[in-house]
Amino acid sequence: MTEGSRDNGLRWIADAYDTGYTLALCEGLSPYELLRRVGAEEHHIVPLTGSAASQLLLRNEEDHLSDLDFLDWEDEAAVAQLTDAGFLPAPPETIVRAGSVAGWAYGLEGFYCRTARYLAALSERGRAFCVHSNEKGFSGIGYACRGEMVTYFEPGLPDFTNGAPAQAALGFAHNGDEPDDVAFLRFLESELGIFLPWEETEAELPSAAFS
């Protein structure tokens, strides 16, 4: 990721997570509420940096704990906390890290797409968006409002829309000039006026593991 890409309100995410990601934006929720609504238990939420989450996801169960740069493997309490919360010993299927920006909670996860399954619940207090992209170039976008799913679609593929057409539901039309997920991130920047600093997302955020 280049320095310039960090200046983009949300579009930098596509560069930073070039092997796949899911971004959820939820109006009126706190980060902890977001995590609870996707199935996390309060006592299993721990603070993790972006680097720590990546190390936990990419490790093999047989790897020694000393390979984790962020963890003092001799700190029994810290190891026990991560183990009880499902981060160890086997790598979880996904880790959702949550933060807040301008009245919205956001959830970030690499590779997987857990938050999309809970989008209606995440929209109880307003709007909720979910943008997913994988390394094969597939993109899926969901929108819910006040507890109801409105649409889930693949940009440029109207036959694969579930719910209202994107143009009718959101006023979003993709002309194909840039990748599908980047186009929608740009749309969200314009519509919501959200700037999500890269540095904040890399700092410690409340995080939950799911298998």
192 membership: H or E segment, kind and range: helix 180-192
Q: Is the dihedral of CA 167, 122, 117, 61 positive or negative?
A: positive
pLDDT for res 158: 62
The average pLDDT across 85-100 equals: 95
Burial pattern 133-156, b for ≥16 Cβ within 10 A else e, equals bbeeeebbbbbbbeeebbbbbbbe
* 96-153: pLDDT as tens digits: 999 999 899 999 998 888 999 999 999 999 999 999 998 777 889 999 999 999 999 8
44, 85 contact by CB (below 8 A): yes
Residue 80: strand, helix, or coil: helix
Q: Between these two residues, 162 and 188, which has the higher pLDDT value? A: 188
Q: How far apart are CA 55 and CA 32, in angstroms?
A: 22
Beta-carbon contacts of residue 177 (< 8 Å; ≥ 6 apart): 183
205, 95 contact by CB (below 8 A): no
- DSSP state string for 27-69: ET--HHHHHHHTT--GGG-EEE-HHHHHHHHH--TTS-GGG-T
Decide if pLDDT at 1 tops 60.
no
Residue 79, CA distances (Å) to 22, 56, 89 in order = 27, 12, 9
The conformation of residue 6, written as its DSSP 8-state character, comes to G
Q: Between these two residues, 98 and 167, which has the higher pLDDT value? A: 98
pLDDT for res 3: 39
